[in-house]
Amino acid sequence: MIRKALSLAGQGGAFDVDSVSPMIAARRVNAPVLLIHGAEDIDTRPEHSQRVFAALPGPKRLILVENARHNESLSQASVWVEIES
């Protein structure tokens, strides 16, 4: 299902999904960035966000949410306190 979604995105956006690199793209982002990632995510490991975070040149913040897996980070009230601050 994910592969099909990526294929459709590439077709719709006229780009090769396999050539996209979040780390390379991050180097060109100058706007403030807040990354939120579940520390227990096994679908997309936290190391992915850590690499993107390291590549960002501008103002940035990374929140690793303890005890959160994929798609669970925003369900914790403490994260919303951080977002609002």
| Predicted TM-score (pTM) of this structure | 0.80
- The token duo for 84 is 């609002």
Domain limits for position 79: 20-84
In a domain, 10, yes or no: no
Tokens for 20, please give them.
Answer: 């996209």
Residue 1 predicted with pLDDT over 90: no
Is the predicted pLDDT of residue 41 greater than 90, yes or no?
yes
Checking if the pLDDT of 85 tops 90, the result is: no
Question: What is the total count of domains within the chain?
Answer: 1
With respect to residue 26, please indicate whether it lies within any of the assigned structural domains.
yes
Q: How far apart are CA 14 and CA 26, in angstroms?
A: 20
